[in-house]
Chain A
Amino acid sequence: ETGVTQTPRHLVMGMTNKKSLKCEQHLGHNAMYWYKQSAKKPLELMFVYNFKEQTENNSVPSRFSPECPNSSHLFLHLHTLQPEDSALYLCASSQVPGAGGYTFGSGTRLTVV
């Protein structure tokens, strides 16, 4: 499979749950990103990984914990989330950071109840 694949597509979790989002890319890209998309707001950059190393953490609360075991896989571990964390979480990749047009996955629609 080519492109950027995100699983699950939809997730409903309680505030005390722990869950993980998964992202996989088969494009040979070296940079991967997590973005949060909320209604009526611009995409918010959360984390950047370059060659598996985290290069940016955009003041994201510690209840979001990223993991990048290799340059093809990216995870976002979630725990004790708040209802305001409900959003579309998008994974993206590019050849290198700042290279230009990203390739995005279809996202995980997260609802915190």
Chain B
Amino acid sequence: EDQVTQSPEALRLQEGESSSLNCSYTVSGLRGLFWYRQDPGKGPEFLFTLYSAGEEKEKERLKATLTKKESFLHITAPKPEDSATYLCAVHDSNTGNQFYFGTGTSLTVIP
């Protein structure tokens, strides 16, 4: 069973069209949930860490939220430079230092 599931797999938005990416998880001992951005040909770049349900973090046009079963990455009025793959990962305290990554959402913002 996958511990982390991201949806949608791919998303195309017009510039300025706000939307949300989803990351659902099944681990029982969540120690932290992490969002990364990955550009083609590069490694993932850390964006946010969320630790408890109800927590929110913001950075420019991005806002990450967390519930007991999922996290959302809200993108407000996106620009073409926001195009990238967004990865979610969870740290499960029940499996030591294991981090489980999702397969990512590929976001394309069209001018």
Contact = CB atoms under 8 A, between A and B. Distances in A.
A61 interface: no
Contacts of A97: 97
Nearest to B49: A100
A31 to B, nearest CB: 9
B46 A102 contact: yes
Contacts of A106: 41-43
Interface residues of B, number: 24
23 contacts: A40-B103, A41-B103, A42-B4, A42-B100, A42-B103, A43-B101, A55-B97, A56-B97, A97-B97, A98-B96, A98-B99, A100-B32, A100-B34, A100-B49, A101-B36, A101-B46, A102-B44, A104-B43, A104-B45, A106-B41, A106-B43, A107-B41, A107-B43
